[in-house]
Chains A and B, each alone.
Chain A
């Protein structure tokens, strides 16, 4: 695959009830800009991404790929309440900030970059699909450097709560980011494989064929059930497993957060992250640390 070298990675997580005032205090550690009219989602985006590039100077053409499961939840609910419960027009900036791409805009503005700016989603596989878009842009020579991340507010979705409650995952706010370039110089790792499969069988076949090549650490996305994880462990025989969902909690962007935590914090040279969506499509991301 085309070169996707990781030059830095960072994760910002906060408990579900964390207020925006705390997030505003935190962001002052990275920038002097005063963000007045921003919401939790925008602050999470800024916090994860600013941490990620703290030690780097970005090229003006650097692209931003913001992936998310739910986008802006809190402020959208507030604006709906202004219309339906308070019976008024919404506040202008409240309405503008219901659009999730405003987070990627504020990030670009804060960093002074004006490259490609994409906000996208894909049920349960948002980060993996975002990586695919970046891969295409790198392969086509459209981009040379990019910030790619996953951001989600703690969701109150009844369904999500029910799905995850029995697995003991607590709900988190999460923002996981990577600074990725086509150049290897100065990189701390690389995305060495980003693969999609239409079924568990084809995914398992690909993984089986990889058996001989070593995988230090394996991690599983939220929809990989225990039996399936056991089968995969049997094939892969990893030295360790990184259970980031149990260790750090769940949010819609847990995959981005988990993989960036591996790069930043965990022992082990290679990670294979296996995930699936509700339709039975699988995605595998392989990361190597240098």
Chain B
């Protein structure tokens, strides 16, 4: 994974353990606004400067993350040929056109309309680069995009349709998203504080994460996908019903699909965007699902930002790699409980070994996705 915390799993986990968070502050130059807002930018070196970005940069990040995932999973070239690609993103190739725009006189919208090869182009590029011969599936369900990519990759393996999948979540900085969320008045001015009484909104981030899914364990400490669910909350295109009924139903269906009950869950990775509506809805849904015994909850967005469509995979990697290292990361920035929410996330890292975990993701367009993972039968 490549994100604001770094580009190696060890570095990312170490940064999460010690809360070494790096925030950039980006201006709204194009709109001539006299202020900036925080953003979790990939900051490896000079290459990552926003001024240096173009199509080549977009694919360098993508191929680098995929290459590391394949290497880390020990997938050889013969095995990768048989893979199928599941890709999830909110912005898709918009960063490519915004980046290329700096080098031409053509307008961004003109380039977008005349040169776009469609949502499937990025997944096809992965397949071509790594000589993957299988099918490509690109998911565009806003902030649940790569979570849904995972859900379907697992279902196809479970049903015996495919043997092996590469699941990628990728969203790179783009003005469309940054300016768009500012227009919605959703961006926090200073700090990320999901579930906190003084939360003030979300902070966007960029990430590219890739995982390999297969019907058998490749490493002793690999996680198992137990089940998941996706439903649509038709309350509003921008927000969920504050009673949390559709969100709670998604959690319940995921538990049922995984063949477990609520008491089996050892910890929850919340979606926790830090916006008023999301946090209110999600906490109401957790109370409805778990009653008075909500398991330990963590919110990982304050580490890498809200990586929108990529968050399904990027937060899963951050969460599971931390557990492999023996801890569930606490929620940085959380200071004061909100009595209306009645959910207090972890404020200290929690030691953990084996368990069953719920990961929640929600998005615009009422999309709700819950995944259930376990490392209980892992021998590592």
Contact = CB atoms under 8 A, between A and B. Distances in A.
A101 B141 CA distance: 5
A84 B119 contact: no
B127 A116 contact: no
B237 A106 contact: yes
Given A78-B109, A92-B184, A126 B365 contact: no
Interface in A195-238: 196, 198
A246 interface: no
Nearest to B158: A140
B183 interface: yes
B119 A117 contact: no
Given A105-B365, A106-B237, A80 B112 contact: yes
B267 interface: no
B180 A90 contact: yes
Contact of B159 (A90, A92, A136): A136
Contact of A123 (B90, B114, B121): B121
Nearest to A74: B113
B230 interface: yes
Contact of B31 (A73, A89, A124): A89
A76 B108 CA distance: 10
Interface core residue of B124, B175, B181, B234 (most chain A CB under 10 Å):
B234
A252 interface: yes
Contacts of B146: none
Interface stretch (A20-28, A48-56, A154-162, A255-263): A154-162
A129 interface: yes
Contact of A129 (B127, B137, B230): B137
B119 A68 contact: yes
A129 B182 CA distance: 35
Interface string B102-138: 0000011110111111111101100110000111111
Interface residues of B, number: 68
B106 to A, nearest CB: 11
Nearest to A138: B159
B59 interface: no
Contacts of A278: 124
Contact of A64 (B136, B181, B232): B232
Contact of A98 (B101, B152, B155, B180): B180
A80 B109 contact: yes
A139 interface: yes
Contacts, number: 217
A57 interface: no
A85 interface: yes
Contact of A279 (B127, B176, B238, B257): B127
A77 interface: yes
Interface string B89-101: 0101010011001
A92 B187 CA distance: 13
Contacts of B101: 84
Interface in B243-272: 246, 257
Given A117-B365, A129-B135, A91 B183 contact: yes
B155 A136 contact: yes
A109 B234 contact: yes
A117 B179 contact: no
B161 A136 contact: yes
Interface string A1-40: 0000000000000000000000000000000000000000
24 contacts: A71-B92, A71-B119, A76-B112, A80-B176, A90-B179, A90-B180, A95-B176, A95-B179, A95-B183, A100-B119, A101-B363, A105-B234, A105-B364, A114-B233, A118-B139, A121-B118, A125-B120, A126-B120, A136-B155, A157-B114, A158-B114, A279-B124, A279-B133, A281-B133
Interface of A: 64, 68-71, 73, 76-81, 83-85, 87-92, 95-96, 98-102, 104-106, 108-109, 112-126, 129, 132-133, 135-137, 139-140, 142, 155-159, 196, 198, 252, 277-279, 281
Given A102-B364, A105-B237, A118-B148, 11 more contacts: A64-B232, A68-B140, A69-B120, A80-B176, A95-B183, A102-B237, A108-B366, A115-B232, A122-B137, A125-B120, A157-B114
The 5 closest A-B pairs by CB, nearest first: A123-B120, A95-B180, A117-B232, A121-B119, A105-B365
